[in-house]
Amino acid sequence: MKKILITGAAGFLGSHLCDRFIKEGYKVFGMDNFITGDAKNIAHLSNNPDFEFIDHDVTKHIDFEGDLDYILHFASPASPIDYLKIPIQTLKVGSLGTHNLLGLAKAKDARILIASTSEIYGDPLVHPQTEDYYGNVNTIGPRGVYDEAKRFQESITMAYHTFHGVETRIVRIFNTYGPRMRLNDGRVIPAFMGQALRGEDLTVFGDGSQTRSFCYVDDQVEGIYRLLLSDYSHPVNIGNPHEISIRDFAEEIIKLTGTTQKVIYKDLPVNDPMQRQPDITLAKKILGWEPKVDRAEGMKITFDYFKSLTEDELYKSEHKDFTGFIK
């Protein structure tokens, strides 16, 4: 049985990755410190003999006994609200955490895949974004702590690959959605759906002409799985290239939820990207991958998940009134 360590296991993507690798017959070790993760995301695995949870902060030294075949580094705050609430932790998990995990991969002769992001492209001047585009990032702007953490993460990963010969993989994740997202974390999909469920008007920043491309979580996980098992060591975009404006997307959500609220407009936040669309030519060529789940289907599944939340979860005030970035 192959052994895989998945950091950020209690997070949105991390928990789905735990499910996938258990399904594929792996022994999964899930690591998280719950700074943004949620224990309920992995509660269903608590009695599974192929899953073992490790409560640990990856920015601290990592001891792991025995053999290890693969590492997936998905530990990181990943929502706009997090960038402002915990900026130092965001920088540390991308730098110190990645360094620790690369060291573990080297010691165990394990292959490691690190989760990068479309945010490394910043507010792009190239559209759609290809892997050879270097990006347009404000290093000291409000998004800088996340963007630069991920850019450094890619650099140190390639350094370990070229200097130490560690088997590395880099996935650049574009907007992903599905069950287990945090409802009030500032991202556009849970923000709109949460507002709809609470009977609030939907908040659009700027004039709503900025675009995003949304990939359903099952498609994202499939791309990550294929990349890990591939022989390709350079960054690969994994996302859905079907682009939509935030204004049109808000109207889609109103239609999906059957609500009668209107769309209201607020000032566009600093450094909010105007366009975000992956070029997935490389993923198609190297991995034979492209998204399969239609947005209407994926959004219905996601909305049904949010409808199943308790009233306390729906009205939790911690992030509900956040008026920050669209992601």
Integer Cα distance of 79 and 74 in angstroms: 13
pTM of the model as a whole = 0.93
In single-letter form, the type of residue at position 133 comes to: Y
CATH code of the domain covering residue 54: 3.40.50.720
Does position 325 have pLDDT exceeding 50, yes or no?
A: no
Lowest-confidence pick of 84-98, 163-177, 303-317 = 303-317
Q: Is residue 196 part of a domain?
A: no
Q: Is residue 84 part of a domain?
A: yes
- pLDDT (mean) for 39-59: 97
How far apart, in Å, are the Cα atoms of 191 and each of 104, 187, 204, 300, 319?
Answer: 37, 6, 10, 15, 10
- Please provide residue 183's backbone torsions phi and psi, each rounded to the nearest 5 degrees: -65, -45
Residues annotated catalytic, as ranges: 146
Of the listed ranges 61-75, 140-154, 181-195, the one predicted with least confidence: 181-195
Radius of gyration (Cα) for the chain, nearest Å?
A: 19
At residue 312, the pLDDT reads 77
Tally the residues of the chain.
Answer: 327
Q: Establish if 122 belongs to a structural domain.
A: yes
What gap in Å lies between CA 202 and CA 152, rounded to an integer? 35
Domain-located, residue 274: no
Please report whether residue 181 resides in a domain.
Answer: no
Q: Give domain status of residue 304, yes or no.
A: no
Whether the per-residue pLDDT at 29 is higher than 60: the answer is yes
In angstroms, what CA-CA distances link 259 with 197, 253, 304?
8, 9, 14
pLDDT in tens, 267-295: 877 767 778 899 999 999 999 999 999 99
List of residues 6+ apart from 163 with CB closer than 8 A: none
Tokens standing for residue 222: 């499939």
| pLDDT at site 227 | 98
Mean pLDDT (the chain, rounded): 92
Nearest to 276 by CA among 252, 247, 241, 234: 241
Contact 96, 2 (CB under 8 A): no
- How high is the pLDDT of residue 68? 98
State the average pLDDT over residues 115-132: 93
Query: Does residue 29 fall inside a structural domain?
Result: yes
Give tens-digit pLDDT for 51-99. Answer: 999 999 999 999 999 999 999 999 999 888 888 899 999 999 999 999 9
By the 8 A CB rule, do 315 and 199 touch?
no
Q: Which two tokens stand for residue 87?
A: 């900026």
Residue 77 falls within a domain, yes or no? yes
Q: What's the structural domain count of the chain?
A: 1
Distance CA 247, CA 139 (A): 28
Check whether the bond before 128 is cis (ω within 30° of 0). Answer: yes
User: Which residues constitute the domain of residue 96?
Assistant: 3-176+215-238
